[in-house]
Amino acid sequence: MFDYNCKRNDLMDQIQEKKEELINIGLEKGLQHNETILISQQLDKLIYKSQKLKLRNK
């Protein structure tokens, strides 16, 4: 259980950082910019990992 919580907390931190990065880049370069889209895809992958981890540990 401890390992799950550490991984989950780490992922949640990464997700929060990526959200902030996405907002900043989106405001700076626009929502259609390739860099914004790339960061959005990276955020999607982190969220997917978090959901997968959560389901595995129910």
Quote the DSSP letter at residue 31: T
State the pTM of this model: 0.87
pLDDT of residue 24: 98
Q: What is the pLDDT of residues 18-48, one digit of tens each?
A: 999 999 999 999 999 999 999 999 999 999 9
Task: Mention every residue, 6+ apart, whose C-beta is less than 8 A from residue 41.
Answer: none
